[in-house]
Amino acid sequence: MEIQNKNDGKRGAFYIEDGGKEIALMHYIFSGPGKMIIDHTEVNDAYAGKGLGLQLVKAGVAYARENHMKILPLCPFAKKIFDITPAFADVLFGS
């Protein structure tokens, strides 16, 4: 299981598949130059509690750093992760 990213220049998603089936997803939207909004994260119930959501947020943070972007975490899960992870402050929009 590895994290993959797909986007069309306006929106995209980081996702994880297991056996060809999508089991976790974090959706984002590009909002102007240098900003992405995380608006939804979900993990298949059978994979809950395995840290997949956190892995997706970390992938989003890495992507933002590589592309000199800021993240606005509107998704409650992603916001919680940003709130408890000071190391992500460098990519947090408004900081």
Phi, psi of 34 (to 5 degrees): 80, 15
pLDDT in tens, 43-80: 999 999 999 999 999 999 999 999 999 999 999 999 99
pLDDT, residue 95, reads: 74
pLDDT, residue 56, reads: 99
Domains, the chain, with CATH or none = 3-91 (3.40.630.30)
For the chain, the average pLDDT equals: 97
pTM for this one?
0.95
pLDDT, residue 17, reads: 98
